[in-house]
């Protein structure tokens, strides 16, 4: 793993980007970390390949979408003065690919984004990638969650209190 400079400082961070609304939050968080501690930042996008295709197959439309995801991240990083390397992977399991890539490059931090979303019953939904990474990554993991959406007439600054009838 990368050698961190001290508590809360990281030498090499892998950003897991999926093209979703949290990618700018992930790049922004890494930008703040990277500038303060001179962290090497590597953005990774994983194309998930289902079992009907060979891992080497080009999945229609996926390469262009992946390039756009990484291009947007590079542009955002450049605007904030951050040097960003990019990596595009194809894998059967996104979580495993992120952990494997972070280990392979000697990262001491993985940064992932989590959009605020709920399932049909109202339970908070985390998907399957973040739990996998949290459980299996040997390095530190930072999850950046998007803010809770503000409903019309509500303020996002006051905490929400859940009550049961």
Predicted confidence (pLDDT) per residue in 86-122, tens digit? 999 989 999 999 999 999 999 999 999 998 876 666 6
Average pLDDT in the 135-144 region? 96
- Average model confidence (pLDDT) across the chain: 82
Whether the pLDDT of residue 69 is over 70: the answer is: yes
Residue-level pLDDT at 4:
47
Residues with Cβ within 8 Å of 102's Cβ and at least 6 positions away in sequence, in order, are 14, 44, 110, 137, 139
Domain ranges of the chain: 12-145
pTM: 0.81
If 0-12 CB within 10 Å is exposed, 13-18 middle and 19+ buried, where does residue 89 land?
middle
Average pLDDT in the 138-155 region? 79
Highest mean pLDDT among 57-61, 62-66, 75-79, 157-161: 75-79
Residue-level pLDDT at 6:
54
Q: How far apart are CA 165 and CA 161, in angstroms?
A: 13
Which CATH architecture does the domain made up of 12-145 adopt?
3-Layer(aba) Sandwich (3.40)
Residue-level pLDDT at 121:
61
Question: Cα separations (Å) of 152 from 56, 149, 156?
Answer: 47, 9, 10
Alpha carbon 151 to its chain centroid, in Å, reads 26
Average pLDDT in the 129-136 region? 96
User: Which residues are registered as beta bridge partners of 89?
Assistant: 46
């Amino acid at each position: 793993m990368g050698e961190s400079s001290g508590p809360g400082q990281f030498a090499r961070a892998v950003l897991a980007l999926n093209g979703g609304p949290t990618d700018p939050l992930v790049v922004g968080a890494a930008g703040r970390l990277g500038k303060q501690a001179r962290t090497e930042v590597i953005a990774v996008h994983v194309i998930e390949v289902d079992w009907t295709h060979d891992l080497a197959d080009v999945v229609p439309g996926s390469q262009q979408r992946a390039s756009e995801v990484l291009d947007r991240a590079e542009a955002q990083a450049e605007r904030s003065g951050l040097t960003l390397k990019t990596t595009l992977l194809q894998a059967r399991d996104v979580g495993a690919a992120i952990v494997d890539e972070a280990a392979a490059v000697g990262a001491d931090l993985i940064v992932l984004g989590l959009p605020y979303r709920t399932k049909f019953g109202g339970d908070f939904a985390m998907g399957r990638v973040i739990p996998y990474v949290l459980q299996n990554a040997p390095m530190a993991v930072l999850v950046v969650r998007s803010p809770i959406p503000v409903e019309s007439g509500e303020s996002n600054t006051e905490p929400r209190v859940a009550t049961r009838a």
